[in-house]
Amino acid sequence: MKILGIETSCDETSCAVVENGRRILSNVISSQIALHRKTGGVVPEVAAREHVVKIIPVLEMALKKAKIALPQKVAPSGRINRLAELPLGLIDAIAVTAGPGLLSSLLIGVNAAMTLALIYKKPLIPVNHIEGHIYGNWLKDETPKFPAAVLTVSGGHNELLIWKGHGEYKFLGATLDDAAGEAFDKVARLLGLPYPGGPEIQKAAKAGDPTKYPLPRAWLPKNPFDFSFSGIKTAVLYLTKKMSPRALRQAKSDIAASFQEAVCEVLATKLANAAKKYKVREVQLAGGVSANTRLRELARELLPSKIPLRFCANLTLCTDNAAMIAAAGYFRYKKNPARYKKWRPIIADPNLELRAF
Ligand SMILES: Nc1ncnc2c1ncn2[C@@H]1O[C@H](COP(=O)(O)OP(=O)(O)OP(=O)(O)O)[C@@H](O)[C@H]1O
Ligand SMILES: [Mg+2]
């Protein structure tokens, strides 16, 4: 079964074709990073306008790369007509991110998917973006095992859960304020590093001493599986405020390393504790921050050696992409195909919660 996935929840326009939820036939991502660097972060209106420009070229490229032949003639008449000329005959269903994310960005992908599903009479599957990140770990040869302890750690989300089976989650905790990715981005800004901050902090941290600044770790005894990163962000703010521009430039690597160490230590410790408490068969990292090499290293160190640690080695599968949405859509569809047969409008929801399916 070939599923066309569409993802536009934030600042990546992405379309992919995935076979049977596991095999990527194409995964085209048009990133807006260069655009948002100018403002140091995503401006929703700017992101949405860029999705409008990119969605059809990205769709066409994803279909072409998946060898779902392009139409012979593309009408020069305009975008809407071109949607009706895409060769979707070989596609079995369309999966799209319905939320969470920026509403104005979500709407572009959701409307493209609804239009295509209506024209071509294909099942239409709304997917939760975070569920997409989790299913990114199925886009590999080895089959994941249930139950798994999963840490979703991205720009806007930070959750710890036990994944019991397809669409079955037990929630252990989430962030009470900022997600780890958001903290990476904000601290990078304080250090004068460009957007997105995560990879930049990782790079700067290589030359730094992680023990130089003892930054706070929020262990949160009330629910030790919850997270909080606003305290460490404020600690870095006060630390950098006291420094002259020259001193800050000199301390940049040490601050980056100390910050990265503190955040990763908290994330990896809580994940390892959850894995031990719930006796899982494997542990998974999902979302943009799972690209962080120190987080992967620490998680491996803290986990009992017999528990496998899974993450996407391919960095493009850690951050936003449509292949993960197609994968999640496949497993949703397989569980209840009848639910998706009849065309129904999708309501894009910026705060969509992860629920059982
Ligand atoms: N190597 C890295 N180390 C730490 N953080 C990283 C790294 N690479 C990417 N990130 C962070 O990952 C985040 C982007 O991930 P992702 O694309 O999954 O988030 P998002 O889609 O913006 O948010 P969400 O998935 O919660 O809606 C950014 O905050 C970025 O700084
Ligand atoms: Mg994301």
Give the residue whose CA is nearest to atom 7 of ligand 1: 198
Stated pTM of the model:
0.94
Q: What is the CATH number of domain 147-311?
A: 3.30.420.40
Q: Which residue has tokens 């700067």?
A: 204
Q: Is the CB of 132 under 6 A from ligand 1?
A: no
Q: Is the CB of 202 under 6 A from ligand 1?
A: yes
Contact predicate 252/209, CB 8 Å: no
The one-letter amino acid code at 329 reads G
- Centre of ligand 1 to C-alpha 287, Å, is 6
- Which DSSP state fits 12? E
Measured CA angle at 279 (ends 274, 285), to 5 deg: 50
Q: Is the CB of 101 under 6 A from ligand 1?
A: yes
CA-CA distance, 291 to 313, in Å (whole number)?
8
Domain positions in the chain are 2-134+317-341, 147-311
Q: What is the pLDDT along the chain (357 residues), one digit of tens a residue?
A: 999 999 999 999 999 999 999 999 999 999 999 999 889 889 999 999 999 999 999 998 999 899 885 444 444 454 445 666 666 778 999 999 999 999 999 999 999 999 999 988 999 999 999 999 999 999 988 999 999 999 999 999 999 999 999 999 999 999 999 999 999 999 999 999 999 999 999 999 999 999 999 999 999 999 999 999 999 999 999 999 999 999 999 999 999 999 999 999 999 999 999 999 999 999 999 999 999 999 999 999 999 999 999 999 899 999 999 999 999 999 999 999 999 999 999 999 999 999 999
Q: Could you tell me the two tokens for 32?
A: 């807006």
Fold of 2-134+317-341: Nucleotidyltransferase; domain 5 (3.30.420)
Hey, do 2-134+317-341 and 147-311 end up sharing a CATH topology, with the first three levels equal? yes
DSSP reduced 3-state for 301? helix
What are the beta bridge partners of residue 168?
165
CA-CA distance, 208 to 291, in Å (whole number)?
19
Contact predicate 236/258, CB 8 Å: no
